[in-house]
Structure 1
Amino acid sequence: MKLPEGVALPGGGDSLLAFDVDEEHQNWGALSSLFQRWRASDVTRTEFTKKEIDSARWLEIGAWHHGYPQPAEDVFGYRQATYDLTDWCEKCGIGMKQKAPFQMKGEPKWGRNAIMQLVWIYGELFVTPDVWNRVFEPAHVECRPVLNTKGAELKTVVQLVVQTTASIITEGLPAEQCERCGRTKYLPITRGPFPALRDTPVGSMLRTAEYFGSGAQADQHVLMSQDLARSLAKSGVRGASLKPVVEPK
């Protein structure tokens, strides 16, 4: 098998190489055993049909991952520059509040994509100014600038500002309680749709009141309405990934 070069990680070391394997593959049992023996990360996801996505009133949105937040001193230097860490727990990652624009090394190399997330920042979305003007501004979603490491405003990217929060139904979700701060976060949801909203949301975009992640990673997931998702698709925007949200009973 000819392997691609993979993705170089900050700080050096082995590069990241990923494969997609369907669990219905005839060799999945043997492959799964090998992955465990090699201590390779096994990340499961569910792929949804167009009908499943089109029929959901709300959708969780993720996006193409591109680049790292800056500055990168000590790898996580962006935290002090971008966030108020007063309520942040270093052990579980809960409590960071954005205080300043994100920084990138330079203009994103968008290619054919127009929506993205930064690596390590899975609760924020970035789009081109054109996409914000055509899709998100009419839906009353605000934006804020993104800077380079010298403090100059970048011209081809803005950050979407999602201020509304809503709770989801968490019964039955695997969770962990932080030994240091006592707060609870839920493990990443890798199988099936996203849990149902507890209340009827207002607006076209929101973030969960609950945090998700493992170890020191904690993010609030971003959800969008079906109407906004259709506007995104109609505009031909590439780079988004959608997961249907369960309808409440």
Structure 2
Amino acid sequence: MKKLLIIALIAFSMTAKAQITFEHTYPNLTSGFLKPINLGPSGKKYAIIDTAQIQLYNLNHSLFRSITFPITTKSNGGNVILITENLFDNDSTNIEYLINDYNYTGSVKIFREDGTLLFDEPNAWAFYPIVILTNPIAPFWTPILMTDSGAKMILYKNDGSFKIYGLPGIIPSCCCGEGSNYTGNYMNQENSFNYEIRNYPNPSLEQTTIEYNLPKGINQGEIVFYNLQGVEIKRFKVDNTFNSLIISTSDIAAGTYYYQLQTTGQSSAGKKMVVIK
């Protein structure tokens, strides 16, 4: 009888732990979003990022730190690429974050939490699209990766060149898939097939022309546009009848977007499109 009671208690405990349990609700984030991050020495946090600040919460949902941006951002938090304690300098008592300032030409800035500017690269972008093998239709960006010779930051310049910087610290271990963006785990583009696609003018004001060539043996596809949060905003069907598509950008807010050519089970690497007003 005693053994049966112990077995019943163990079974109840296992069942209780297997349940999905509600923890907390954060208020409606109309001008920002929430994502899990790994700061480094201070561990994993929830980050709420909007146009004015970063709010970091502990896993028990208590406020850990609130950081006000020293510049005005033009996006709902999507231009904060990375938040960390021990990547951009060797002082883990401070939090640093990388911002891609979205203006007509772009710039990459790294700030300490007190507003000190550590790094500024004008006419540059701290992301570029790659295709993730497990989800080839979603655009992801990997500006920073860990190598055998330390952490590297790759910036795309407006003239088409890339600049590579060595960073003094280390990349925190991944949090909830975040590490795939920063450590380069998905740099392999085996699922990106032989597509040709580009747009002009870029930046565009009211309309842009997408030039494309479908791979041999493929007769139809779709050109899909995403915002920086990976949300689809436009989709157009294309075929081999033509090799270009003119689209209006008048109904798209100013900012940076990515597009790719998709066919059944295949997709191109993403391409960047900037819309100005």
> Could you state the TM-score of these two structures normalised by the residue count of structure 1?
0.27
Structure with the higher fraction of residues in strand conformation: 2
Q: Whose helix proportion is higher, 1 or 2?
A: 1
Larger RCO (CA under 8 A, 6+ residues apart): 1
